[in-house]
Amino acid sequence: MIAAGADEAGGGRAGHDRAAYTHLAPVSTARSLVRTEGSSGVRHRRLGSRRESMTISHDIALLSQRRAEHSGACTAKCPECATGSSGCAARRPAPDSRRHAAGAPMKTLSIADILAGKAAPGDAVALQGWVRTRRDSKAGLSFVHVSDGSCFDPLQVVAKSDLPNYADEVQRLTTGCAVRVLGTLAASKGKGQAVELAAGVVEVVGWVDDPETYPMQPKRHSMEYLREQAHLRPRTNLIGAVARVRHTLSQAIHRYFHQHGYFWVHTPIITASDCEGAGEMFRVSTLDLANPPRTAEGRVDFGQDFFGREAHLTVSGQLNVESYCLALSKVYTFGPTFRAENSNTRRHLAEFWMVEPELAFADLNDDVALAEDFLKFIFRAVLDERADDMAFFAQRVEKSAISRLEALVEADFARLTYTEAIAALQKANVAFEFPVSWGMDLQSEHERWLTEHHVGRPMAVTDYPRDIKAFYMRQNDDGRTVAAMDILAPGIGEIIGGSQREERLDVLDARLDEMGLPKEDYWWYRDLRRFGTVPHCGFGLGFERAMMYITGVENIRDVIPFPRTPRNADF
């Protein structure tokens, strides 16, 4: 589905055609490229001083001179160059380009800065980035789209044939070449962009070896192929946008908690604790696998291992963060977590990031309120700060990418107990694959129906049967449910799961016994209930799941830079 069809030349690309525009998409998400009104004021702040302008002019002259010298040296060293061989290593200016850069005192502007109006037409500007496309005009100029990743849009460089290295280098630029361009920002004479850079100097910082086999060709690639080129795929439109949104979402998460008085607790990656619950864990060991020490019974003697006991990668920071919650009151953990489950689906990773806040002197109502406020804040931040990338997702990946986020941000979350939800599902005139009965866990189809059809907006389902939930969730007075909650959202289903924690030692112990969990393994967790216990609650948000929801990207492997899945830890 991902790469159906081969009509890269034609139109009629559906919104779900994820591969089509991953690389060079001329998608115009640039709106007000340069604010003409008042832009001179901005310019003065950044580049307008006489001294800076002179520096830039000097820089251009300097680089021109060095370019000329360099070309001469190249020809002398390399007879092949004269024949026009493009693969000649000796002609490549890479070593010299360091000198060029070192000798350039001018401040380089990012494309994001330029498009934000920090330079105005007429300003001298230095730009550095990677070539997306080159289009030549025999009339004596080339159009080179350069991207530096600072924002979605590339900047068009107009290079004229009077450049000293025009025929020798500019016309040999291919997709992926790294360039540094000094020039003058100008209002574009063409359509499709408001401004462009009239090049005074085009310096090739890094050539592309063998352009024919450069993996990121200016065409559609399948998502599967891009995963195999994970080191180069950030140069595509899609993965670049994902990377920027990931950053913005991460920053928004930290900002939300910081602004609301939560402390970020760095819970451990390696855990020797046995009490993190079910789920296969990755073992951490320094033992010689071929010849491990054995106990008298013939078992592997982990007492001789690095930590003196078995150790694993964490599957959740929750239990650890609870201990800091019962001291700092409002805390959260945000880091990588690991599951060694052999689950190969589009929604699972062996290594993923999780956000887990924990709040003391608080109950399930506070938990739901926090989740709602938190989700609205972080989604709003992405909409506000990455409008360019979100426009791309809405245009090329998932039509409703923006609208459903806006709907969530505006919505008043509904609330339903599990028992009420089951009643509603049983009354629904819908043929569910899994029959509905009290005591069962809600399937994805049930969650989707509840949030999309029953209430038609984001919702919290609370108070689930105790028998289908974890040992640490607080038992309700009815004796058969626990104070757990899931946040469900249209278009995805469950996005957050949380609970009020069992703060009563006797109830917790009874629960541990019931589930056959050895109390001694939970000694420090139980201590928290012995020494100044308080009602507290928290929830977990899978960061990549949130990324999928935001971007509409269907496979979780494409919203994380280097995905780890069964049989795949390349890069």
Residues 181-210 that bind RNA (CB under 7 A): 186, 188-193, 196, 198
- How many chain residues are in contact with RNA, going by CB under 7 A? 90
Q: From 554, 466, 477, select the one nearest 511 (Cα to Cα).
A: 466
110 or 229, CB closer to RNA? 229
305 or 358, CB closer to RNA? 358
Binds RNA by CB under 7 A, chosen from 156, 314, 451, 500: 156
C-alpha dihedral over 332, 336, 338, 344, to 10 degrees?
120
Please list every residue from 458 through 497 that binds RNA, using CB under 7 A.
Answer: 494-497
Buried b (16+ CB within 10 A) or exposed e, 203-233: bbbebbeebeebebebebbebebbbeebeeb
Distance CA 243, CA 551 (A): 11
CB of 565 to RNA, least distance (A): 7
Q: Choose the binding region for RNA from 169-177, 380-388, 420-428, 501-509 (rule: CB under 7 A).
A: 169-177
CB of 45 to RNA, least distance (A): 27
- For residue 338, give the H/E element and its range: strand 330-338
Binds RNA by CB under 7 A, chosen from 174, 250, 251, 395: 174
324 or 472, CB closer to RNA? 472
CB of 292 to RNA, least distance (A): 23
CB of 289 to RNA, least distance (A): 19
Q: How many CB atoms lie within 10 A of CB 426?
A: 12
Q: Choose the binding region for RNA from 213-221, 258-266, 503-511, 527-535 (rule: CB under 7 A).
A: 213-221
Residue 193 structure tokens: 């962009």
CB of 141 to RNA, least distance (A): 6
CB of 196 to RNA, least distance (A): 5
Please list every residue from 233 through 252 that binds RNA, using CB under 7 A.
Answer: none
- For residue 157, give the H/E element and its range: strand 155-160
CB of 566 to RNA, least distance (A): 7
Residues 6+ away with beta carbon under 8 Å from 307:
270, 272, 284
List the alpha helices (DSSP H) in 10-106: 39-46, 50-77, 79-82, 94-102
Binds RNA by CB under 7 A, chosen from 64, 395, 417, 568: 568
CB of 530 to RNA, least distance (A): 26
Please list every residue from 435 through 454 that binds RNA, using CB under 7 A.
Answer: 443-444
CB of 387 to RNA, least distance (A): 20
CB of 215 to RNA, least distance (A): 6
51 or 567, CB closer to RNA? 567
CB 18 within 8 A of CB 223: yes
Please tell me the number of Cα atoms within 13 Å of 383 on its side-chain side: 18
43 or 134, CB closer to RNA? 134
CB of 298 to RNA, least distance (A): 26
Does residue 130 bind RNA (CB under 7 A)? Answer: no
Please list every residue from 516 through 555 that binds RNA, using CB under 7 A.
Answer: 540-542, 544-545, 554-555
Strand-pair partners of 32: none
First-to-last alpha carbon distance for the chain, in angstroms, is 26
Print the SS3 string covering 466-522. HHHCCCCECECCCCCEEEEEEEEECCCEEEEEEEEECCCHHHHHHHHHHCCCCHHHH
CB 128 within 8 A of CB 148: yes
CB of 395 to RNA, least distance (A): 12
Distance CA 513, CA 509 (A): 6
Please list every residue from 379 through 438 that binds RNA, using CB under 7 A.
Answer: 434
List the alpha helices (DSSP H) in 270-363: 318-328
Binds RNA by CB under 7 A, chosen from 91, 92, 100, 172: 172
CB 371 within 8 A of CB 522: no
193 or 481, CB closer to RNA? 193
CB 354 within 8 A of CB 279: no
List the alpha helices (DSSP H) in 179-229: 223-228
Q: Choose the binding region for RNA from 4-12, 286-294, 376-384, 414-422 (rule: CB under 7 A).
A: 4-12
Please list every residue from 15 through 34 that binds RNA, using CB under 7 A.
Answer: 19-21, 23-26
104 or 178, CB closer to RNA? 178
Q: DSSP code of 192?
A: S
Please list every residue from 67 through 126 that binds RNA, using CB under 7 A.
Answer: 84, 86
Please tell me the number of Cα atoms within 13 Å of 540 on its side-chain side: 18
Binds RNA by CB under 7 A, chosen from 13, 16, 480, 504: 13
Q: How many CB atoms lie within 10 A of CB 506?
A: 9
221 or 466, CB closer to RNA? 221
Distance CA 482, CA 466 (A): 5
3 or 269, CB closer to RNA? 3
Q: How many CB atoms lie within 10 A of CB 305?
A: 19
CB of 453 to RNA, least distance (A): 18
Strand-pair partners of 186: 196
132 or 404, CB closer to RNA? 132
Please list every residue from 307 through 366 that binds RNA, using CB under 7 A.
Answer: 316, 339, 341-350, 352, 354
Q: Choose the binding region for RNA from 135-143, 177-185, 320-328, 400-408 (rule: CB under 7 A).
A: 135-143
Distance CA 22, CA 17 (A): 10
Strand-pair partners of 193: none
136 or 509, CB closer to RNA? 136
Q: Where do we find the tokens 């506000």?
A: 384
The site string for RNA over 250-289 (x = CB under 7 A, - otherwise) reads: ----------------------------xx----------
Distance CA 545, CA 557 (A): 11
The site string for RNA over 500-519 (x = CB under 7 A, - otherwise) reads: --------------------
CB of 277 to RNA, least distance (A): 8
